[in-house]
């Protein structure tokens, strides 16, 4: 999507200027023609002024803004306020500049006759494919208010989950930063002091301590090279992660990690059950729903599993069959889905499945600190034991040298 600035003329002769986000110039021209405007010129807006620079949104539109907007929109429409008027009111009070601009674009598109779901689909970072399909289903079935409320609930669950994970990660993050800081201080200050002390007494350092001293000297003398290596490593990781094969390897490693692997698996299963249930309940076909869910899951291995299952379901195979053959989906999941398919209550069974795994995720995130304590203690103990071996063993050997 690119931002275009246009100049057009109304039938009364009045000149109209503005900006419009679109895929190409032709889409802008079509939009202006729909509003019965005569196009003078349309140019891509390449330059940004100072105000635009401060309005750049880093990291996407905040979830909080989207939750509040969705809830207020559902409330206004249910109260009988026309859709356009509700959008105008919400856009006028929106404080986030990029989100405000997106809402203003939506208003223009809806005024031109576009559906609400199609208008939001053209706005980057507002709603995902799952949420857009829910809104579209609401427009088709006449239950727009209910579907927008579902979208708000979905966004709120995402927000709550992210908040819980961030809170749970504070303690482990502080511990690991502290460990790195202590090791760095010892390498820079204490290890050289031990080397100087040994040299004064004419002793020879153990080979382990020699190796650490060499590393310490390198860190002190070539710290800039170390920083350069770290930056290059981060860039290489980002590039590797951007490749399909790299993402597969990294996501597999995440699933294999202690604690975090189990947590990530349960997150994927909770999202799978919750999103697929919502889409099926809204009247979207199972094939289309599976395609949407496969795009919404964050782990590529679960994405592939659902995508592969979609091909089998298209051929008439029950969903439980391909999932039962996938190692990432627990056997209990495929059995529960098989029960739902045989009884005709697949959407309800999936909803219960999503709730169960969401409860498991909530438990793990609330107890993440306790679950990680053994790992943290093992790392801290290993670091302390190694440093004791490297630093204090030579000091104890000084007694032999002095005697």
Same domain, 15 and 82: no
CATH of residue 43's domain is: 3.10.20
At 201 the pLDDT is 63
3-state helix, strand, coil in the chain (%, to 5): 75, 5, 20
pLDDT in tens, 109-163: 888 888 898 899 888 888 888 888 888 888 887 888 888 888 888 888 888 877 8
pLDDT in tens, 70-89: 889 988 888 888 888 889 88
Same domain, 32 and 86: no
Residue in this structure with the two tokens 């170390």, named with its chain if needed: 226
The answer to whether residues 213 and 261 touch, using CB atoms and an 8 Å cutoff, is: no
| C-alpha to C-alpha distance for 93 and 97, rounded to whole angstroms | 11
Residue in this structure with the two tokens 């109260």, named with its chain if needed: 79
The answer to whether residues 351 and 277 touch, using CB atoms and an 8 Å cutoff, is: yes
What lies within 8 Å, CB to CB, of 246 at 6+ separation is 239, 240
Is residue 86 in some structural domain?
A: yes
What lies within 8 Å, CB to CB, of 1 at 6+ separation is 21, 22, 23, 122, 124
Residue among 50, 52, 54 nearest 3 (CA): 52
- Beta strand ranges found along 178-318 (DSSP E): none
Same domain, 342 and 266: yes
Asked if residue 402 has pLDDT above 60, the reply is no
What residue numbers bound the domain in which 354 lies? Answer: 260-366
Same domain, 264 and 361: yes
Q: Cα 290 to the chain's mean position, in Å?
A: 20
Asked if residue 335 has pLDDT above 90, the reply is yes
The answer to whether residues 63 and 155 touch, using CB atoms and an 8 Å cutoff, is: yes
pLDDT band at 298, cuts 50/70/90?
Answer: confident
At 202 the pLDDT is 60
Is residue 113 in some structural domain?
A: yes
Same domain, 283 and 343: yes
Q: Mean pLDDT score of the chain, rounded to an integer?
A: 81
pLDDT in tens, 152-196: 888 888 888 778 777 777 777 887 888 788 777 777 777 777 677
pTM of the model: 0.69
Same domain, 28 and 102: no
Q: How many CB atoms lie within 10 A of CB 112?
A: 15
Asked if residue 391 has pLDDT above 80, the reply is no
Same domain, 26 and 82: no
Same domain, 43 and 102: no
Counted domains in the chain: 3
Is residue 314 in some structural domain?
A: yes
- The three-state secondary structure class of 95 is coil
More confident residue, 1 or 205: 205
At 52 the pLDDT is 43
Q: Which of 75-84, 241-250, 255-264, 372-381 comes out lowest in average pLDDT? A: 372-381
Same domain, 72 and 18: no
Residue 256: Cβ-neighbour burial (10 angstroms; 0-12, 13-18, 19+): exposed
CATH of residue 331's domain is: 1.20.81.30
**Measured between alpha carbons, how far apart are the two ends of the chain, in Å?**
79
Is residue 67 in some structural domain?
A: yes
Is residue 55 in some structural domain?
A: no
Is residue 388 in some structural domain?
A: no
Is residue 92 in some structural domain?
A: yes
The answer to whether residues 314 and 251 touch, using CB atoms and an 8 Å cutoff, is: no
Is residue 343 in some structural domain?
A: yes
Report, in angstroms and rounded to the nearest whole number, the Rg of the chain calculated over CA atoms. 29
């Amino acid at each position: 999507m690119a931002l275009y600035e246009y100049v057009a003329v109304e039938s009364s002769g009045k000149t109209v200027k503005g900006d419009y986000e679109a895929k190409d110039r032709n889409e802008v021209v079509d939009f202006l023609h729909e509003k019965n405007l005569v196009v003078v010129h349309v140019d891509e807006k390449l330059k940004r002024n100072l105000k635009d620079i401060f309005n750049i949104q880093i990291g996407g539109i905040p979830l909080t803004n989207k939750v509040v907007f969705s809830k207020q929109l559902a409330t206004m429409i249910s109260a009988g306020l026309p859709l356009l008027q509700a959008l105008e009111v919400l856009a006028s009070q929106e404080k986030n500049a990029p989100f405000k601009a997106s809402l203003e674009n939506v208003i223009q598109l809806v005024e031109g006759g576009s559906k609400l779901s199609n208008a939001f689909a053209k706005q980057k970072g507002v709603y995902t494919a799952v949420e857009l399909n829910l809104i579209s289903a609401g427009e088709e079935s006449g239950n727009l208010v209910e579907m927008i409320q579902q979208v708000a609930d979905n966004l709120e669950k995402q927000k709550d989950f992210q908040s819980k994970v961030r809170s749970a990660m504070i303690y482990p993050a502080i511990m690991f930063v502290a460990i790195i800081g202590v090791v760095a201080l010892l390498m820079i200050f204490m290890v050289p002091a031990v080397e100087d002390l040994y040299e004064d007494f004419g002793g020879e350092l153990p080979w382990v301590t020699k190796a650490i001293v060499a590393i310490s000297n390198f860190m002190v003398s070539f710290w800039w090279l170390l920083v350069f290596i770290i930056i290059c490593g981060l860039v290489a990781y980002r590039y590797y992660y951007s490749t399909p094969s790299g993402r597969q390897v990294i996501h597999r490693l995440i699933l294999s990690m202690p604690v975090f692997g189990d947590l990530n698996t349960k997150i994927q299963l909770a999202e799978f059950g919750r999103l697929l249930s919502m889409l099926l309940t809204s009247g979207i076909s199972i094939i289309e729903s599976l395609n949407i869910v496969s795009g919404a899951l964050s782990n590529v291995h679960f994405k592939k599993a659902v995508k592969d299952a979609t091909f089998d379901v298209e051929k008439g195979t029950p969903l439980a069959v391909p999932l039962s053959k996938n190692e990432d989906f627990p056997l209990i999941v495929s059995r529960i889905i098989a029960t739902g398919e045989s009884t005709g209550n697949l959407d309800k069974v999936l909803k219960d499945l999503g709730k169960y795994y969401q409860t498991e995720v909530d438990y793990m995130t609330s107890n993440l600190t306790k679950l990680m304590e053994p790992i943290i203690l093992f790392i801290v103990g290993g670091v302390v034991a190694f440093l004791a071996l490297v630093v204090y063993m030579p000091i104890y050997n000084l007694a032999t040298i002095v005697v």
